Amino acid sequence: MEKRRIAILGSTGSIGTQALEVIKEHRELFEVELLVCRSSWEAMARQAREFDANAVVITDTSHYLDLRNALEDTGTKVFAGMDSVCSLVTGDNIDIVIASMVGFSGLEPTIAAIKAGKVIALANKETLVAAGRIVMDLASRMNVPILPVDSEHSAIFQCLMCARGNKVSKLHLTASGGPFRTWDRESIAKATKDIALKHPNWDMGAKITIDSATMMNKGFEVIEAKWLFDMPVDRINVVVHPESIIHSMVEFEDGAVIAQMAEPDMREPIQFALCFPERLPLSTRKLDFAKVGSLSFSEPDPERFPALGLAFKAMERGGNIPCALNAANEAAVAAYINGRISFYGISDVVGECMERTSYISDPSLEDIFATNDEAYSLSCRLIDEMERR
């Protein structure tokens, strides 16, 4: 495998730090060219030193001087702002862009990288939730591979490698069920953020952990799977699998189901995307089936987890409504983490925002950005109203 030059958008987050762990195991195969974070300048400065990054960008410009001073004795070039990110990802010195920035902010640099013909290792669900048709059409025109990093979509991608042209009947996305899998609705309604942030299987950032607790994360994954694999939403199934050993499954017309299995460790799908189509050794814990013992499955409960149904509803309406879903969820999750609304207030805000956002059946990229602003502002007003009640 030839050496691959990497840009990591969101290097200090969960995916970014684990991507650097993968790169550390195979330093002879990867070169870190660009690191990007929002505000964690101290952590990114340490990463830049360890991996001798060519350039770094901090999108929160108020920390630019801190970062520049921390790296002034190195050869690393320091930039600030989203315009710098969008410019630098197009450079000839980059082969693969790991798109792992949180939320809608990941859309613009991902589009810039696609236009420049970069391979995209996609970990930012919101990019396809908000603008799936636009992104996939652009990637097709530019002949740019989009390699999934989410464990569920990586699993489907790996299973589809066995399809050999045979028609797929259904995709089965597995869900851990999150911290409230066995709780009743009344107890969930009172759940504090501290409990919601304790995911039973995965180590993730705060926003995606809350999305897992509401199951909005799984709804996003359904939308993402539709676009990545060109699959109608009515042929995408969600099944709760608390052990998180089977990461997803592909069902064929004859009833055969192929599953991808591994310990819950994001380094495996990250490395698969970075090394595709090769598989390399990785120091993860390997499956011991005798210790696993048994695997269990159940249907998700729409009464206890209404966010999942909202995602399906958004895709049924189509147009710009999935973008509104995402924007409202970003605002509502932030409000929940800050103690402003209840757990079910998240889905209440999202549902109301979806109903009240101006509908556009075939949105342009400009429409998507306008919808994001409209829905986010509307959600903030709804949250303010909830607080005053």
Structural domain of 159: 151-177+215-300
Contacting residues for 346 by C-beta, under 8 A, at least 6 apart: 210, 214, 216, 307, 329, 332, 333, 335, 336
Mark whether 106 and 158 lie in a shared domain. Answer: no
Query: What is residue 389's predicted lDDT score, i.e. its pLDDT?
Result: 73
Classify residue 7 by its DSSP letter.
Answer: E
Within a domain: 353: no
Within a domain: 357: no
Mark whether 140 and 11 lie in a shared domain. Answer: yes
Question: With a cut of 50, which residues of the chain have pLDDT below it?
Answer: none
Query: What is residue 322's predicted lDDT score, i.e. its pLDDT?
Result: 97
Alpha helices by DSSP H, listed for the chain, are 14-25, 41-51, 64-70, 82-88, 107-115, 125-142, 151-160, 185-189, 193-196, 206-214, 216-229, 267-275, 289-292, 306-317, 321-337, 343-356, 365-388
Query: What is residue 191's predicted lDDT score, i.e. its pLDDT?
Result: 84
Domain count within the chain: 2
Mark whether 85 and 18 lie in a shared domain. Answer: yes
Q: Residue 151: name the closest of 96, 204, 101 by CA.
A: 204
Contacting residues for 178 by C-beta, under 8 A, at least 6 apart: 199, 200, 212, 213, 214, 215
Mark whether 161 and 291 lie in a shared domain. Answer: yes
Alpha helices by DSSP H, listed for 52-124, are 64-70, 82-88, 107-115
What CATH code is carried by the domain that includes residue 135?
A: 3.40.50.720
The pair of structure tokens assigned to 89 is 């990802």
Q: Residue 173: name the closest of 227, 222, 124 by CA.
A: 222
Query: What is residue 309's predicted lDDT score, i.e. its pLDDT?
Result: 96
Within a domain: 135: yes
Within a domain: 364: no
Mark whether 219 and 295 lie in a shared domain. Answer: yes
Query: What is residue 172's predicted lDDT score, i.e. its pLDDT?
Result: 98
Give the pLDDT confidence of 135-177 residue by residue, as tens digits. 999 999 999 999 999 999 999 999 999 888 889 999 999 999 8
Mark whether 104 and 238 lie in a shared domain. Answer: no
Prediction pTM value = 0.93
Within a domain: 184: no
